[in-house]
Amino acid sequence: MNQPLRIAIAGLGTVGAGTVKLLHTNGVAIAARCGRTIAVTAVSARDRKKDRGLNLTGVAWFDDPVEMAAKAEADVIVELIGGSEGAARQTVETALARKLHVVTANKALLAHHGVALAKTAEAAGLTLAYEAAVAGGIPIIKALREGLAGNTIQRITGILNGTCNYILSTMRATGRAFADVLKEAQDLGYAEADPAFDIDGVDAAHKLAILTSVAFGTQVDIKSVHVEGIRHVSSLDIQYADEFGYRIKLLGLAERDAQTGGIVQRVYPCLITPDVPLARVDGVFNAVVAEGDFVGKSVYEGRGAGAGPTSSAVVADLIDIASGRRVPTFGIPATQLQKLVSVPLDQHVGEYYVRLLVVDRPGVFADIAGAFRDESVSMESVLQRGRTQNANVNVVIITHNTQEANLLRALKSLQANAALVEPPHMMRIENLK
């Protein structure tokens, strides 16, 4: 058998500790699959005294991950620190400068610096691997980059954040308010003490930007992703969506615009019909649908976070390196990635869900209809419920296909109407059939 692949792990949190445990538990099978053992030779973490349930006898310990990347006896640096700057970025850059392969689970780093890091790695004949950065245990990077390599990808759609999916599916199942379910998600460890990164859509946007690059051969462009989170989604919205025959999901979507040839990247809560695969994905699970010109639709579902799924993805990358398998970081050489030409979201054409809380008095609906008429927005369905305690009513509208810019102008006009009690609530309806 060949010499062991020596790895140094920066970060011994949930994923780092899980990776060490996986390599120990399945070490014999892993060695058989790649023709050599994978040995942890060094680690770096803040607290040496913390009991992680790991046997680190004979493993070098570094307090500073950057120093570890510069000095450890290793062939691969596994970066599990997180964050787009600071120690994480310095650790990866130091490893590549030292001609060491890198495996990372850091979506933020790749979303902001992935192309530059890929160019550095590829110029040195090194691997920069990141299966664990997107959708946890789902092997979506390998699927897009290798399994579907013969296809022209037309669209990527995914539930890319388990925290948001848990909140929305629990709200639907129980009728409870957003804040209540968010607190439960935090208590269960599904959401951080500061949940903004998840519930504001940032985490999903990082993952979508990476998927877009692999799927369409473009440079990673996080700045072109339109991002909306789920803070404004209420239990009322979920109830009304049900009545109209829809589910609400936070989705990441990327597709090529047929008219301009540009790429639309968007993350937002939207309404989808219950018969599409993503509508049936609940709880903390992630799922991705890839649509190719020859393969059609292929669906990938699994746990998007946690020690087991994410460490599984880390080790899959390590096995590729140990076996000598190497492909360009984003599917084609980084120097050949095309600059992404973005398409403004206000050019989007589709159906929309609009909820208006208005004062219940004569003439209000005529004002609503007039604002929509003036911007050529046609209403397909309208639902009005009884008065609230404050004598207000919710008016819910499903539009026909319309350009988003037109609807936004209509809603802006309505905001000047004194009958509106709060700003309009608007979500897009995505036809994913």
C-alpha 212: how far from chain center: 11
Q: At what angle do helices 14-25 and 307-323 cross, to 10 degrees?
A: 60
Closest by CA position to 197, among listed 209, 205, 187 = 205
Element (H, E) at 3: none
Q: How far apart are CA 208 and CA 266, in angstroms?
A: 8
State phi, psi for 155 to the nearest 5 degrees.
-160, 145
Distances in whole angstroms, Cα of residue 151 to Cα of each of 145, 260, 331: 10, 21, 12
Q: What residues pair up with 5 in beta bridges, in sequence order? A: 38
The H or E element spanning position 356 is strand 349-359
Q: Looking at the annotation, which residues are catalytic?
A: 207
Label the pairing between strands 263-272 and 226-227: parallel
What would the DSSP string read from start to end of 198-267? HHTSHHHHHHHHHHHHHHHTB---GGG-EE--STT--HHHHHHHHHTT-EEEEEEEEEE-TTT--EEEEE
**CA dist., res. 118 & res. 330, Å (int):** 8
How far, in Å, CA of 336 to CA of 338, rounded?
Answer: 6
| Structure tokens that stand for 13 in this block | 């949190």
